[in-house]
Amino acid sequence: MNKYRSTALFLIVVPLAFNVAFFALGGAFEYPDILRQPTADILQKFSAGGSSLVALWYAFALTALLSVPLALLLQSVFEDEHPQLARAAGVIGVLAGLVQTLGLFRWVFLVPTLAATVADPAATPGLRDAAMIAFESAHQYLGVAVGEHLGYFFTGTWTILLSVMMFRSRWFNRGLGIVGIIAAIGIMVGLLEPAGVEFAGLVNALSYIVWSVWLVSAGVLLFSARQAS
């Protein structure tokens, strides 16, 4: 399989896998609405989910990690036409995948221990409080700062770079580039959510849906273009 077919496959599979895992977490864990509930309730529900919920979080983190090879494949596709922009996009895309993976992996390697502590009837009130403080600290740093804030920034920047290259590419077209820039701006609006901008979360969520469709469309277009050439 050459790099064009591999890239087209990743462009289609990665966003589909991401959304399947995301909606599965919504059904099993009420994610992301669960994050607005008290910490004790989050950890109790997580503990009740058992190993199957941990496995689902692991799968979700892996879909973010798949952005790393996708970024490198797209770099190779664009490198002949836009060498400097392609290399910059490759670096930014890898960073986007890594920071989101680091944020999500807390649910696999840290939260299970904290949830078990809170659910343990033998745990002292002080130990439970310490576990909840640890969860809140990890959530704010690994979740909000690393996974979301940096994730939105790098994903948006990567998408803009790809979209600019699509304007003058034999494989894509200007219309797809415009949609990508719109999606990128919407994703980066999520950066305003910690500042108290109420609509930022909704705009970000809707933009990720557009972004997913954009990636799949790019994959279909690349595959079709290669078949016709």
Exposed / middle / buried, residue 33 (Cβ in 10 Å: 0-12, 13-18, 19+)? exposed
Angle between helices 151-167 and 67-78 (to 10 degrees): 20
For residue 228, name the pLDDT band (cuts at 50, 70, 90): low
How do residues 90-122 score in pLDDT, each as one tens digit? 999 999 999 999 999 999 999 999 999 999 999
Higher pLDDT, residue 95 or 36: 95
- Is 209 part of a structural domain of the chain? no
pLDDT class of 1 with cuts at 50, 70, 90: low
Residue 193 in any domain: the answer is no
The sign of the CA dihedral 44, 49, 55, 58 is negative
Place of tokens 């990890």: 138
* Contacts of 207 by beta carbon, 8 Å cutoff, 6+ apart: 182, 183, 184, 185, 186, 187, 189, 190
Q: How confident is the model at residue 229 (pLDDT cuts 50, 70, 90)?
A: low
- What pLDDT is attached to residue 168? 87
**pLDDT grade for 198, boundaries at 50, 70 and 90:** confident
Read off the pLDDT of residues 168-191 as tens digits, 9 standing for 90 and up: 888 898 999 999 999 999 999 999
Residues sharing a CB contact under 8 Å with residue 128, sequence separation 6 or more, in sequence order: 40, 117, 118
pLDDT in tens, 50-63: 999 999 999 999 99
- Residue 192 belongs to a domain: no
Please give the distance of CA 228 from its chain centroid, rounded to a whole number: 32
> What is the count of structural domains for the chain?
1
**DSSP type of residue 122:** T
Cα separation, 104 vs 110, whole angstroms: 10
- The answer to whether position 187 is within a domain reads no
On whether residue 211 sits in a domain, the answer given is no
CA distance 117 to 119: 5
Does residue 128 contact residue 117 with C-beta atoms inside 8 Å? yes
Would 70 be classed as within a structural domain? yes
On whether residue 159 sits in a domain, the answer given is no
Grade residue 46 by pLDDT with cuts at 50, 70 and 90. very high
| pLDDT, tens digit, 9 for 90 and up, residues 62-78 | 999 999 999 999 999 99
**70 is written with which tokens?**
């996708």
Answer yes or no: is 65 within a domain. yes
Q: What is the pTM of this model?
A: 0.94
pLDDT digits (tens, 9 = 90+) for 115-174: 999 999 999 999 999 999 999 999 999 999 999 999 999 999 999 999 999 998 888 989
Which range of residues forms the domain containing residue 111? 3-150+216-228
Coil vs helix vs strand at 22? helix
Residue of 211, 172, 161 lying closest to 7 (CA atoms): 172
